Amino acid sequence: MARAIKTRSSGRGAVVRGDRATPRNANAAWSIRRARGLQVLESRALGKLTWLVHGFSTRPGGASVLNEKPALNLGFTEWDERERVAANREKFIAALGAREMPLVTARQFHSDVIHVAAAPIAEAPKADALITHTPGLLLGVQTADCVPILLADTRQRVVAAIHAGWRGTLARIAVKTLGQMRMEFGTQPRDVVAAIGPAIGRCCYEVGPEVAQAFAAQFPTAADWFDGPFEQLAHGEEPLWLPWLTMMPPGHVPPPPRVQLDLRASNHWQLIDAGVPEKQIGVSDLCTACRADLLFSYRREGAKTGRLMAVIGIK
């Protein structure tokens, strides 16, 4: 069993200097490249693979308008026009230098369903992870707080894009994607390079007792990923907030205590536990809720926010 890894977000993210940015906390595994008026977050480890194209989108630029500012919304949301989103996607893919690569996305529904793509498809499949061994395809997952994960098998040349919310993380979607890559193409975890992109940090992601209990039941190291009264909530202990104990009048009972969850730390630990070397996993410290200037956050902004996209493909 691999040791537990704690990953805390500084909430301050990356400092842009010229054409590059290096996240704080000595997180030099990431950079931001400017292209076509956009800022594309890149994993330096994935960037070393010359047969690969990848990138994590950011908020600035684009044809959409959010809070009276141009925004690169890459999701077909209710508040935005489809033509603008299509133009944003085209611009983002061009910034990656992948204009000729068709984009394959999924209808995400917070599951552990994995789709293996062998060719461009007319209708997006219902899934939360995509895998391909086919050159020329660009896989993309959308997020606005959930964890985007990109995987690349450096030996078999297989890639995957994963969307992991708390339900997908609980269901071990990243580990199951590795397993599917192994079954289909012979991937060995030791050959995989992984990039865990921007997501809501432990600093901003409050969850209730049901989430704490679910993680405690599944993972022996779950306590390392939570702040707050995790042990109390995980074991189903009722907080002492009954009116007759707190002397509060009826109707004024405070809600049960909540805890803060680090989804990136959980996925990091799961990949290591599955056999991916820790040195081959890069974890961004950008928090989507803290960095509204650079990223989109559903938890912070509600339904009228955009969607980020993490993409990967074989040239």
5-14, 160-169, 244-253: least confident range:
5-14
Instruction: Find, among 153, 125, 128, the residue nearest to 141 by Cα.
Output: 128
Predicted TM-score of the model (pTM): 0.88
Per-residue pLDDT tens digits for 34-57: 999 999 999 999 999 999 999 999
- pLDDT reading at 59 higher than 90: yes
- pLDDT reading at 127 higher than 80: yes
Domain ranges of the chain: 14-200+280-314, 207-246
> Dihedral through CA 104, CA 105, CA 107, CA 109, nearest 10?
130
Q: Quickly state the pLDDT bin for 26 (edges 50, 70, 90).
A: very low
pLDDT of residue 234: 87
Distance from C-alpha of 200 to C-alpha of 162, rounded to nearest angstrom? 16
State percent of the chain over pLDDT 70: 85
The superfamily CATH assigns to domain 14-200+280-314 is CNF1/YfiH-like putative cysteine hydrolases (3.60.140.10)
Distance from C-alpha of 137 to C-alpha of 154, rounded to nearest angstrom? 17
Distance from C-alpha of 286 to C-alpha of 34, rounded to nearest angstrom? 17
Per-residue pLDDT tens digits for 261-291: 999 999 999 999 999 999 999 999 999 999 9
265 three-class SS: helix
- pLDDT reading at 245 higher than 70: no
Q: What does the buried/exposed string (b/e) look like for 140-177 if buried means 16 or more CB atoms within 10 Å of the residue's CB?
A: bbbbbbbbbbbbbbbebbbbbbbbbbbbbbbbbbbbbb
pLDDT of residue 3: 40
Q: Which residue has better confidence, 243 or 89?
A: 89
Phi, psi of 308 (to 5 degrees): -85, 165
Q: Compute how many other C-beta atoms are within 10 angstroms of the C-beta atom of residue 118.
A: 10
Q: Quickly state the pLDDT bin for 255 (edges 50, 70, 90).
A: low
- pLDDT reading at 1 higher than 90: no
The β-bridge relationship of strands 103-104 and 138-143 is: parallel
